[in-house]
Amino acid sequence: MSDPLIEAALAARLNAFAPFSKFLVGAAIEDSDGRIHTGCNVENATYGLTLCAERVAVFKAVSEGVRKFRRVAVAADTDNLTPPCGACRQILWEFCGDVELVLANLHGKTETWQLKDLFPKPFDVSYL
């Protein structure tokens, strides 16, 4: 049985704008109402202004008024499943908390993690 969240991440990957790296990544985030919001990586020639798929998905959902999330899926064409970068882990933690995170590739391989296991000591509002 296929997972609609993974399917959405795989589909979003095809919209990636990655003319420099050719590394296409898709992300999908499920909100507390079961709606799925997607994102893809969008590169920039300066690289530092590039946005990862996970942040695009979170920001799109937030811009549409969503504030509570259940799960996130990240899909890339790699043999080793690709976890979110540090910046994306921070954003995911701040907006989603200890969310379930599914990593997937084009060959049907998946792994499921809790964000706290990939990001064990995040900086959050408790430090302010």
pLDDT of residue 1: 56
pLDDT of residue 58: 98
Q: Is residue 72 part of a domain?
A: yes
* DSSP H/E element including 93: helix 86-96
Q: Is residue 26 part of a domain?
A: yes
Average pLDDT, the chain: 96
Question: What CATH number does residue 113 fall under?
Answer: 3.40.140.10
pLDDT of residue 59: 98
> Percent of the chain at pLDDT above 70?
99
Per the structure, the count of domains in the chain is 1
Q: Is residue 127 part of a domain?
A: no
Q: Is residue 15 part of a domain?
A: yes
- Residue 59 domain boundaries: 4-120
Q: Is residue 126 part of a domain?
A: no
Q: How many residues does the chain have?
A: 128
The pTM assigned to this predicted structure is 0.94
Q: Is residue 125 part of a domain?
A: no
Q: Could you report the per-residue pLDDT of 75-126, keeping only the tens digit for each?
A: 999 999 999 999 999 999 999 999 999 999 999 999 999 999 999 999 988 8
pLDDT of residue 87: 97
Q: Could you report the per-residue pLDDT of 20-42, keeping only the tens digit for each?
A: 999 999 999 999 999 999 999 99
Q: In whole angstroms, what is the distance from residue 25 CA to residue 84 CA? A: 10
Note whether 58 and 90 are within 8 A (CB): no
Closest CA to 111 of 85, 91, 87, 83: 83
Mean pLDDT of 15-20: 97
Count of C-beta atoms within a 10 Å radius of residue 15: 15
Query: Catalytic residue numbers?
Result: 54
